[in-house]
Structure 1
Amino acid sequence: MDQENTGPALQLHFDEASKKLLATVITDREAPPLDEPGLREFLAAQGWSALRYLPNMAIGLLASHNAGVACTLPIAEAIDAVIGIELSPDGVEAWLNIVPSEGGAAATADAVLALLADNGIGEGIDMAAIAAAVAAGSASHVVIARGVPPVNGADGRLESLLPEVRDRRPQVDASGHTDYRDLGDIFVVHSGDWLMLRHPPTDGTPGRSLLGETIPATPGKTVMYASSLPGTAFDPANPDLLVAAINGQPVVVAGGMMVEPVYRVATVSTATGNVDFDGSVVVAGDVCTGMTVRASGDIEVGGVVDMGTLEAGGSIVVKGGAMGSLGRKTSEECHIRSGGSFHSAYAQQARIEAGDSIFIDDTAMQCELTAINHINVGGKRRGHIIGGHLQATLSITGKVVGSPNRVLTHCAIGVNPLLHKQLLQMNKVRDERETQLLEVAKLLDFAGKNPGRLRPDMIAKARATAAQLSAQIAEMREEQDALTHKIELSQQSRVVAKELLCEGVEVHLGNQCYKVVGEHGACAVGMGGNGLELMAIDDKEG
C-alpha cells in the first residue's frame, strides 16, 4: 500500500512480512523542512497513528528528508496484543493479563481460551470476565477462572448454657467504650446444673485447584478448659459438659466458668460482726458504720454503706449510696475496693477504687475515685461530679462536672503507670511458660521417635502439661493484646461534660494541666494539637 502527500517528500508503504511501516524520502520534488511533530501529524493524517512509533529511526529519516537525500527507513511497526495467564500461589485463581495491541492483532476470547487450555485449565472458566477484558483491550490480574478454595475448619469453642452470667473478663470494646449495664442481682445455680459445653473443632473442607489438585483445609484449633475451675465438675457421661458442683454464683472466666458460693445476710452491723467470705456476699440491707465486708467474689448491698469498708475480688453493687469519711472529723477509716466494676446510686466523701470502671447514677460529691478504665457519673439521674479527686485511664464522664461555686475538682486521665509494669511482668511470665512448653515438646518428640523408651504414664503427664501450658500461653497472649490496646486507647482519654463544665475543674494528663476558666456547655477536655484543650464532644460521648 503506497501513499503520497503533497506536504513532506515522503512515501509510505506497510510491509506485511515485517509488520513495519516504511518511509521513503522522495528526491524529485522540493518540500519544506520537517520536524518530529510534523512527522507524527503526517502519519496520523495517513491513518497510521495506531502503530508503535520508532523515534530512533525517525531521527535518521528527518535528517535525510531535510537534506534531500534518498533513503527508506521503518518509521513505525504493528504490535499484536500480548496475552498472559498467571496462576495464584494456591492455584485457585487464574489471572489474565493483556498488553494492548498497537496497530496489530487484538486479543480475542478464543486466544484466551486456547492459552488456558495450554496451561491445563478447563474448568471454572468465567466467560463473562474474559469477554469484558477482551472488549476493554487490556487487562491486569483479571480473574477469569476459579477453582474451589478450601474451607478451613472452625476452632473449638466454649458455649455458655446459662441465660445470665457475670463475666469478670475486661469488657472494653475496640473503641474504648464500656458496657454501662446495671449489674443487677446475683444469679444463682444449683449443684448439677449445666454450665458450659465445649464444642470440638471441625476439620474443614478441602478445595480443588484449577489444575485438579486437592488443596487441604486447615483444621480448627482445639479449645481447652482451664486447669482450675472452682465449684465445677465435668459430667461423667460427657467430658465436654461442665456442670455446677455446688450452689452459688456462676462467673465466666478465661477458659470456662467457675461457681462461687453466695453468703446472704440481712444487714452488717455490730450484731452480725464483719463478713469475710470466700465467694460472693449479698447484703439485703445496710452496711453500718465501721463494719467491713470482704469477699473473693462479688458484693451486693441492697441499702447504703455508711462509713463502712467493702473489698471484693469481683464487682461491687450498692443499690443505695456509699458515704465515706473523707473530710469528716472521725476516727473511722473506710474505703471501697473492687477488683471489677463498682456501681452505686450516689457517693459522698467516699474513697472508691475499681479494677475496671466506676458507675454512679446520681452524684459524686467530694470523693476520691480511682478506676483503671472509666468513671461515669449520671445514669438516669442528675450526674453531678462535685469536688474531690478522680483518676481514670480512659475517661471521666458526668452530666455536670464541677460546680458553679468553683469547687476544686481534680481529674487525672491517661496511662496508669501500673499498666506498663503489669505488661512487662506478663511478658516475663509468658516467656517462662513458652520455655517450659518447648522442653515438654522436646520430650514428646523424643517419645514419638523412640517408642517404648518412656513410660506411658510419663508421656500422658507430659501431654497434659503441654495442653495446660498451651492454654495458659494463649490466655496470656489475649490479656497482653488487651492491655496493649488499652495503653494505646489511653492516649485518646477525655474528661467529658455532657451538659455543663464549670470553672474550678482541673484536668491532668501526665505533666500537662488544663484549668477550666468560666462555664462551658457540653464539651470535653483531651489531648489536641497544642496539648490538653477544650473540644467538642461526639454523639457517643454526648
Structure 2
Amino acid sequence: MPADLPEDLPEGLPTDLIEGLPTDPPPEVPLDGRVHLYVDNDHMAASISLEPPLNGGAAVAEEQVRAEMTARGVVAGILDDVLRQTVEQGIGSYVCIAKGLEPTPGQPAVFTDLIESPPEHDAQGSEEEDDDAYARIDYRDLGNLVLVTPGVPLMRRTPAVPSIPGFDITGKVIELPPISDEPFAEHLAGVEISPDDPNLLIASISGAPKIMEHGASVVALVEVDSVNLDTGNIDFDGSLKVRGDIVAGMKVHVTGDVVVAGTIEAADVHAGGNITVNGGIVGMADTVATDGQAQSRAARLVCEGSVKARFISNAQIDARKMVAAEREIRQSFVDAGDCVVVGPPGSQKGAIVGGRTRAMMSVQAGVLGSMSAVRTEIQVGLNPRTDAKAEILQQKRKELTEQQGKLEKLVLFLQANPQKDVNNIGQRARETLRQTFADMTALAAQEEDLIKALVPRADAYVAVRKHIHSGVNARIGNKAREFREDYPGGKLRQGPNGDIAIS
C-alpha cells in the first residue's frame, strides 16, 4: 500500500482500487453566492436569504437580486435601502425587502345629536355597581320638555372619510367598498342648514326638537289648560303641553311629545315622541257597551319614545323605548321595546300588580304581585310588538292571497271570452295582478325579518329588589316560571340549562 494514503482505510481493499485512489486533495472550485427569494402567499411581502460565496466565488449583486424579483413578479413596495444594505452585508437569514400596503378603511358620515335632553337611563345597567339591575331615573325630571328657538344647533354631520386603497408587491391595487357619505335627510320640518357651516343643522322655528337617524325636525308647541269637551280632541303635527288633565274619553294624536302636568284619565293618547305625566295615568276598570260590544275604559297610550308617570293604573301602554313609573303599575297591560322600571333608584319601593308587563330587555321593580296572589304576568326577551305585527302580516297575506285568486280567475275568464273585455278591464286586471305579486314578495321579506325578531335575547332579565308574591308568572324568552309561593327578591335570568335561574 502506498505510504501516502490515509491510514484509516479499511483493510482488505483490492490492490487495483487502492492504486486508483488520488493521493492529492482535489482542487478548490470557486462557488458564487446565491439568492433565495420567498414571496408570501398573499403577495403582501417578499424576503431574501443570501448564501455567501465560497472559494473566491462572486458575491450576490444587487442587480442579481432585482432580476430575480422581477422574474417572480415583485415590482411594488420594494424597500430599496433595506435591499441595498442586505446585499452589501451579505445577510444570510431572511430579510423583508418588499412589502405591500394594506388598504385603510374609511369612516361613514357621523351624525351627532347636539340637543341637551333630560338624562336617560342605561338600559343594561352597570355590572360594576351594587345596584346594577336597576336603571337610574330621576323622577324630578318628569315634565321637562326640551324646547329650542331659531338658530339653536340641533345636529352636526361629520363627513365621511374615504378609504385609502392599498397594493400588493405585484402592483395589484387593493380597494375597499366605497364609504357611504349620507347627507342630512330631506324634507326636515322646522330646521335648516347653517349658513356658516354646511354640516350643521339648526332650528328655523321655535318648538320641540325631534332627533332622527340622519337629521332632526322641530315641531310647533301647543299649550292648553286641559284636554276636555271644551277643547275637543286634539290632532296635529307638533308637541302638546297640558297644564292640567287629559280627561276620560278624549283623544290626542300628535307627532311630537306630550307633557301633562296633571293626570291622563281613560283617554287615547298617541305621540310620535315621549309621553310624560307629572301625575298619574288612571284608567277605569269597568267597561261600557258600544254598539252591543263591551269596550274597556282603560287609558290607552302609544308612543315612539318613552312613557314616564308617577303611577299607572288600568292602562294599556305601548312604548317603543321605556316605560317608567315612580310608584306602581297596577292592573295594566304594558309593552316596552326596551325596559320597564318601577320605583325610585336605590329603594325597595315600586310594585307591579296584576295585568301583563312585557319588555324586550328588562323589567325592574321592588315588588312583583301582591299578598292576595293576583295573577301578574311578566315577560322579557322578546319584542312585545312582534305579536301584533305577526297578526297584521298574517291578515295582509290572507287578503293578498284572496285578491290574487280573484284576479287570476278574472284574467283567465277574459282570455277565454275576449268579447267580455271592455273598458280595458283585462289590462288593468293584469297590472293589478303584477302589483299583487310584488306586494307578496315584499310581504315575504317582512315575514323573514319578523322570524329573526322572534329569537329571544340571551341577556334579558327581571330584577326584583324586595319580594316576589305567589301568582306571578315570569317568562324569559320562551321559558316560563310560575311562582306558587312567596319568594325573596332577586334577578331572574335564563340559566345555563335554558331554565329560569334566580340569583
Deviation digits for residues 428-451 of structure 1 (CA, Å, limit 9, x no counterpart): 9xxxxxxxxxxxxxxxxxxxxxxx
Q: 1:122 to 1:181 in 2, by over 3 A?
A: same
Deviation digits for residues 219-241 of structure 1 (CA, Å, limit 9, x no counterpart): 64321222321222345676554
The alignment of Structure 1 onto Structure 2 pairs a total of residues equal to: 386
Shift of 1:281: 0.9
Greater RCO (Cα-Cα under 8 Å, separation 6 or more): 2
Aligned to 2:300: 335
Aligned to 1:437: none
Matched, 1:164 2:123: no
Aligned to 1:280: 239
Q: Does the residue aligned with 2:331 lie in a helix, a strand or coil?
A: strand
Q: CA RMSD in A?
A: 5.1
Match of 1:379 among 311, 326, 344: 344
Matches within 5 A, 1:138-153: 146-153=99-106
Q: Partner amino acid for 1:394?
A: M
Shift of 1:178: 11
* Conserved? CA contact 1:352–1:370, under 8 Å: yes
CA distance in 2 between counterparts of 1:408 and 1:307 reads 23
Matched, 1:303 2:268: no
Deviation digits for residues 114-166 of structure 1 (CA, Å, limit 9, x no counterpart): 9986536435869xxxxxxx99x9x9xx9886454443443333344x34259
Aligned to 2:370: 403
CA distance in 2 between counterparts of 1:270 and 1:404 reads 40
* Conserved? CA contact 2:125–2:134, under 8 Å: no
Deviation digits for residues 387-411 of structure 1 (CA, Å, limit 9, x no counterpart): 2222233332222222244222122
Shift of 1:188: 1.7
Deviation digits for residues 335-373 of structure 1 (CA, Å, limit 9, x no counterpart): 222232211122123222222321222221222212233
Q: Does the residue aligned with 1:335 lie in a helix, a strand or coil?
A: strand
* Conserved? CA contact 2:79–2:99, under 8 Å: no
Matches within 5 A, 1:32-43: none
Q: 1:528 to 1:232 in 2, by over 3 A?
A: same
* Conserved? CA contact 1:231–1:260, under 8 Å: yes
Q: Does the residue aligned with 2:211 lie in a helix, a strand or coil?
A: strand
Deviation digits for residues 179-229 of structure 1 (CA, Å, limit 9, x no counterpart): 866675222222344433444334455556557887667764321222321
Shift of 1:292: 3.7
Q: 1:366 to 1:174 in 2, by over 3 A?
A: closer
Aligned to 1:474: none
Shift of 1:253: 0.9
Aligned to 1:520: 487
Deviates more, 1:482-491 or 1:278-287: 482-491
* Conserved? CA contact 1:265–1:283, under 8 Å: yes
Matches within 5 A, 1:45-444: 85-87=38-40, 89=42, 91=43, 93-94=44-45, 118-119=68-69, 121-123=78-80, 146-160=99-113, 162-164=114-116, 185-205=144-164, 220-235=179-194, 240-326=199-285, 332-380=297-345, 382-416=349-383, 418-419=385-386
CA distance in 2 between counterparts of 1:417 and 1:409 reads 16
TM-score, normalising length: structure 2: 0.60
Q: 1:387 to 1:116 in 2, by over 3 A?
A: farther
CA distance in 1 between counterparts of 2:176 and 2:501 reads 54
Aligned to 2:417: none
CA distance in 2 between counterparts of 1:348 and 1:124 reads 79
Shift of 1:289: 4.1
Q: Does the residue aligned with 1:419 lie in a helix, a strand or coil?
A: helix
Q: 1:285 to 1:354 in 2, by over 3 A?
A: same
Q: Does the residue aligned with 1:521 lie in a helix, a strand or coil?
A: strand
Q: Does the residue aligned with 2:488 lie in a helix, a strand or coil?
A: coil
CA distance in 2 between counterparts of 1:511 and 1:216 reads 45
Deviation digits for residues 452-501 of structure 1 (CA, Å, limit 9, x no counterpart): xxxxxxxxxxxxxxxxxxxxxxxxxxx99998876445355433323322
* Conserved? CA contact 1:124–1:145, under 8 Å: no
CA distance in 2 between counterparts of 1:484 and 1:123 reads 58
Q: 1:124 to 1:356 in 2, by over 3 A?
A: farther
Aligned to 1:36: none
* Conserved? CA contact 1:400–1:499, under 8 Å: yes
* Conserved? CA contact 1:166–1:250, under 8 Å: no
Sequence identity percentage? 26
CA distance in 2 between counterparts of 1:147 and 1:174 reads 45
CA distance in 2 between counterparts of 1:254 and 1:220 reads 17
Q: 1:163 to 1:411 in 2, by over 3 A?
A: closer
Structure 1 segments unaligned to the other structure (5+ residues): 1-12, 14-23, 28-81, 99-109, 127-133, 429-478, 537-542
Q: 1:221 to 1:337 in 2, by over 3 A?
A: closer
Q: 1:158 to 1:97 in 2, by over 3 A?
A: same
Q: Does the residue aligned with 2:185 lie in a helix, a strand or coil?
A: coil
CA distance in 1 between counterparts of 2:182 and 2:343 reads 40
Q: Partner amino acid for 1:151?
A: T
Q: 1:238 to 1:331 in 2, by over 3 A?
A: closer
TM-score, normalising length: structure 1: 0.56
Q: 1:88 to 1:393 in 2, by over 3 A?
A: same
* Conserved? CA contact 1:166–1:252, under 8 Å: no
Q: 1:123 to 1:323 in 2, by over 3 A?
A: farther
Q: Partner amino acid for 1:523?
A: G
Aligned to 1:505: 472
Q: Partner amino acid for 1:189?
A: V
Q: Partner amino acid for 1:257?
A: A
* Conserved? CA contact 1:326–1:351, under 8 Å: no
CA distance in 2 between counterparts of 1:95 and 1:421 reads 61
